[in-house]
Amino acid sequence: MQVSVETKDALEREMIVEFPTSDINGEVSTRLQSLTKTAKINGFRPGKIPMSVIKKRYGGHVEAEVLNEKLQQSYYEAVNQEKLKPAGQPAIDMVDHDDKDTIKYKAVFEVYPEITPVSLDGQAFEKAKVAISEGDIDTTVDNILKQNQSFTEVERGAHDEDQVVVDFTGTIDGEAFKGNEGKLVPVTLGQGQMIEGFEEGIKGAKAGDELTLDLKFPEEYHYADVAGKDVQFAISVSAVKEATLPELNDEFFAKFGVTDGGNEAFRIEVKKNMQLELDKAISAKLKNQVMDSILEINDVTVPKALVDEEAKNMAEQMQSQYQMETQGDTQLQTSLFEEQAKRRVALGMLLAELVKVNEITATPEAVKEQINEMAATYENPQEVMDYYMSHKDKLAEIESFVLEEKIVDWACEQATVAEKEFSFTEFMNPKEDDKA
């Protein structure tokens, strides 16, 4: 087998591979001979079919099959011989030439870049220091009560925190669009679950009212076909319902697994769960800083094939979720996810190199400890643990998470980490200006 490789740009390679036609002739003959014993053709007894008939009937198919297998085999042998690391699938084309004793083809593909991670020495990270106050617990309990509130129909105009049940039909320039109708949709005023102007427009409405609202979809709306467009909604109000909060009593506490100790025990349980969420948020914010820093100081050329594949996967995941929510079949363009996909691919390659260079490992003990921690928040922890331990793909997700956490630990040892104090509310619910 003869192999030559030409560099087309930073990552693209064009590889010419040539091998003797005899490499496939023998296998073709073997398979055709086997078919003389197993093939069924009208007019011939099994095992008595002449080779000339077999060749005429199956020769083309068998030759194509064997050639395809040989192309794949020789491609992987060639990239190994040339010590190349392909990123994505190759584009393979046959090359016409005069020598009938050889088969020649061209494979064009990208390779993984050579990466030498830059040291994090001199980088600075900020780690939040947050204490949970009694007032924070009060606020959380209030939110829990609202999440468990019931609604009773009333004969008055709707105001904030009421639930308004509506039918609606939306049109753009008088034409319907996908997902433009809703029947008996409950809208809780003040929650911002509809597009801007919708909830404000039905405030004050009573059961039986008919309304028309002229609104506009946000420019960044998830459904690109209507994003930024003017829309008119015809709305029929079926009911207005007033919220009633549940009482803080033993029956309510029992719903959250608190069967003894009353209100004090309930608040302790609430604080414990708040602390779990807080710890996750603090860890996630620190991790984001580390990942951003790793990307910022390392200039990596990303294989387009991997970006395209990642963008496709992201679009399909979003599509699946969107269809479940809207029962539609909206097509999402992969270009919408290109930048995020590029980031994911670049970060993935950098983290893999950091893991290798620094010999960072996710030990079975660390993985099991992480699963135990996750399972502890469920009603049946052992069932959750068994699920993760028996599914390789889920176990791999935990291993990846543990590796990322260890990379964060390693990064914090290399860089400078300063603590910054926040209140629980400002850290868990930052203003838009503070999120950047």
Residues 60 and 104 in one domain: yes
pLDDT at residue 112 in the model: 96
Q: Is the pLDDT of residue 87 over 50?
A: yes
- Which of 190, 223, 244 lies at the terminal end of a domain, its last residue? 244
CATH number, domain with residue 74: 3.30.70.1050
The better pLDDT of the pair 131, 178 is held by 131
- 141 found inside a domain: no
Residues 396 and 427 in one domain: yes
- Choose among 135, 146, 163, 160: nearest CA to 248: 146
Q: Which residues form the domain of 388?
A: 124-131+251-434
- What is the residue-averaged pLDDT of the chain? 92
pLDDT at residue 433 in the model: 45
pLDDT at residue 318 in the model: 82
Residues 267 and 288 in one domain: yes
Own/partner pairs for 339-345, CB < 8 Å, 24+ apart? 340/311, 340/314, 341/307, 341/308, 341/310, 341/311, 341/314, 342/302, 342/307, 343/295, 344/310, 345/302, 345/303, 345/306, 345/307, 345/310
Residues 407 and 258 in one domain: yes
Helix/strand/coil (H/E/C) assignment for every residue in 236-255: EEEEEEEEECCCCCHHHHHC
Inter-residue contact 70 to 19 (CB < 8 Å): yes
Residues 90 and 34 in one domain: yes
Q: What is the pLDDT of residues 290-311, one digit of tens each?
A: 999 999 999 999 999 999 999 9
85-89, 238-242, 319-323: least confident range: 319-323
pLDDT at residue 44 in the model: 87
Total tally of structural domains belonging to the chain = 3
Alpha carbons 396 and 367: distance in angstroms, whole number = 9
How large a percentage of the chain has pLDDT more than 90? 82
Residues 295 and 226 in one domain: no
Q: What is the pLDDT of residues 222-240, one digit of tens each?
A: 888 899 999 999 999 999 9
- Which of 226, 244, 262 lies at the terminal end of a domain, its last residue? 244
Residues 282 and 391 in one domain: yes
Q: Using 50, 70 and 90 to split pLDDT, how confident is the model at 179? A: confident
- 57 found inside a domain: yes
Taking each helix axis from N to C end, the angle separating 392-414 and 364-375, rounded to the nearest 10 degrees, works out to: 110
Alpha carbons 274 and 251: distance in angstroms, whole number = 22
- 78 found inside a domain: yes
Alpha carbons 320 and 316: distance in angstroms, whole number = 6
Q: Which whole number is the average pLDDT over 104-112? A: 97
- 347 found inside a domain: yes
Q: What is the pLDDT of residues 322-381, one digit of tens each?
A: 654 444 444 567 888 999 999 999 999 999 999 999 999 999 999 999 999 889 888 789
- 55 found inside a domain: yes
pLDDT at residue 223 in the model: 83
Residues 407 and 289 in one domain: yes
- Which of 244, 267, 291 lies at the terminal end of a domain, its last residue? 244
Q: Which whole number is the average pLDDT over 7-31? A: 94
Q: Is the pLDDT of residue 320 over 70?
A: yes
Residues 223 and 338 in one domain: no
55-59, 117-121, 200-204, 377-381: least confident range: 377-381
Residues 230 and 291 in one domain: no
Residues 106 and 180 in one domain: no
Residues 228 and 298 in one domain: no
- 240 found inside a domain: yes
- 139 found inside a domain: no
pLDDT at residue 125 in the model: 97
- 315 found inside a domain: yes
Q: What is the pLDDT of residues 255-281, one digit of tens each?
A: 998 999 999 999 999 999 999 999 999
Interior/surface letters 170-191, b for 16+ CB within 10 angstroms, e for the rest: beeeeeebebeeeeeeebbbee
